[in-house]
Amino acid sequence: MSLIVMKFGGSSVGTIERMQRVARRIADYMEAGHRVAVVVSAMGDTTDDLIDQSKQLNPNPPAREMDMLLTTGEQMSVALLSMAIHQLGREAVSLTGWQAGFRTEPVHSKARITDIRPDRILRALDEGKAVVVAGFQGMTEDGEITTFGRGGSDTTAVALAAAIQADVCEIFTDVDGVYSTDPRIVKNARKLAEISYDEMLELANLGAAVLHPRAVEYAKHHNVKLIVRSSFTHNEGTTVKEEAVMEQGVVVRGIAYDKDVARISILGVEDVPGVLAKVFGALASSGIDVDIIVQSGVQDGKADFAFTVSRGDAASAIGIVESIRSEVPYREVTSEQDLVKVSIVGAGMVSNPGVAAKMFEAIYKLGVSIKMVSTSEIRLSCIIAAEPVQEVVRALHTAYGLDTTEQAFVGGPQERR
Helix axes 63-87, 16-31, angle to 10 degrees: 60
Identify the pLDDT of residue 250. 74
pLDDT in tens, 148-172: 987 899 999 999 999 999 999 999 9
Identify the pLDDT of residue 245. 67
> Residue 371 is which amino acid?
K
How many whole angstroms separate alpha carbon 307 and alpha carbon 264?
A: 5
How many whole angstroms separate alpha carbon 258 and alpha carbon 57?
A: 33
Q: How confident is the model at residue 297 (pLDDT cuts 50, 70, 90)?
A: confident
How many whole angstroms separate alpha carbon 328 and alpha carbon 306?
A: 15
Cα distances from 111 to residues 139, 242, 359, in angstroms, run 9, 27, 38
DSSP string, 142-203: TS-EEE--TTHHHHHHHHHHHHTT-SEEEEEESSSS-BSS-TTT-TTPPBPSEEEHHHHHHH
How many whole angstroms separate alpha carbon 265 and alpha carbon 295?
A: 10
Cα distances from 253 to residues 138, 346, 360, 403, in angstroms, run 35, 5, 17, 11
Q: How confident is the model at residue 293 (pLDDT cuts 50, 70, 90)?
A: very high
Q: Domain 263-335 class?
A: alpha beta
The reply to whether domains 3-173 and 263-335 share a CATH topology is: no
> Residue 335 is which amino acid?
S
pLDDT in tens, 377-409: 899 999 999 999 999 999 999 999 998 744 333
pLDDT in tens, 194-203: 999 999 999 9
Identify the pLDDT of residue 414. 43
* Letter string b/e over residues 267-300, b meaning 16 or more CB atoms within 10 A of that residue's CB: eebeeeeebbeebeebbeeeebebbbebeeeeee
pLDDT tops 90 at residue 3: yes
How many whole angstroms separate alpha carbon 89 and alpha carbon 128?
A: 12
Beta-sheet pairing, 3-8 with 113-116: unpaired
User: In degrees, to the nearest 5, what angle opens at C-alpha 18 toward C-alphas 16 and 19?
Assistant: 60
Average pLDDT (108-112) is 93
Q: Are the beta carbons of 389 and 259 closer than 8 angstroms? A: yes
- C-alpha R_g of the chain: 23
Q: Which of 264, 27, 252, 249 is nearest to 129 (CA)?
A: 27
DSSP 414: P
Q: Are the beta carbons of 318 and 333 closer than 8 angstroms? A: yes
With a pLDDT cut of 70, the percent of the chain lying above it is 96
Whole-model pTM? 0.84
DSSP 404: -
More confident residue, 54 or 297: 54
Q: Give me the CATH topology for the region 3-173.
A: Carbamate kinase (3.40.1160)
Q: Which of 133, 146, 126 is nearest to 81 (CA)?
A: 133
CA 344 to chain centre: 17
Identify the pLDDT of residue 347. 86
User: In degrees, to the nearest 5, what angle opens at C-alpha 391 toward C-alphas 390 and 392?
Assistant: 90
pLDDT in tens, 202-235: 999 888 878 889 999 999 999 999 999 999 899 9
What contacts 242, CB < 8 A, 6 or more positions away? 196, 197, 220, 223
Q: How confident is the model at residue 296 (pLDDT cuts 50, 70, 90)?
A: confident
How many whole angstroms separate alpha carbon 29 and alpha carbon 8?
A: 15
Identify the pLDDT of residue 375. 92
Find the range with the poorest average confidence among 94-103, 270-279, 363-372.
270-279
Helix axes 389-399, 355-365, angle to 10 degrees: 140
Q: Are the beta carbons of 232 and 187 closer than 8 angstroms? A: no
Identify the pLDDT of residue 409. 35
φ, ψ for residue 63, nearest 5 deg: -60, -35
pLDDT in tens, 4-15: 999 999 999 999
Q: Which of 49, 47, 51, 53 is nearest to 74 (CA)?
A: 47
Q: How confident is the model at residue 412 (pLDDT cuts 50, 70, 90)?
A: very low
The domain ranges of the chain are 3-173, 263-335
The mean pLDDT of the chain is 92
Q: Which of 389, 291, 400 is nearest to 344 (CA)?
A: 400
Average pLDDT (303-326) is 95
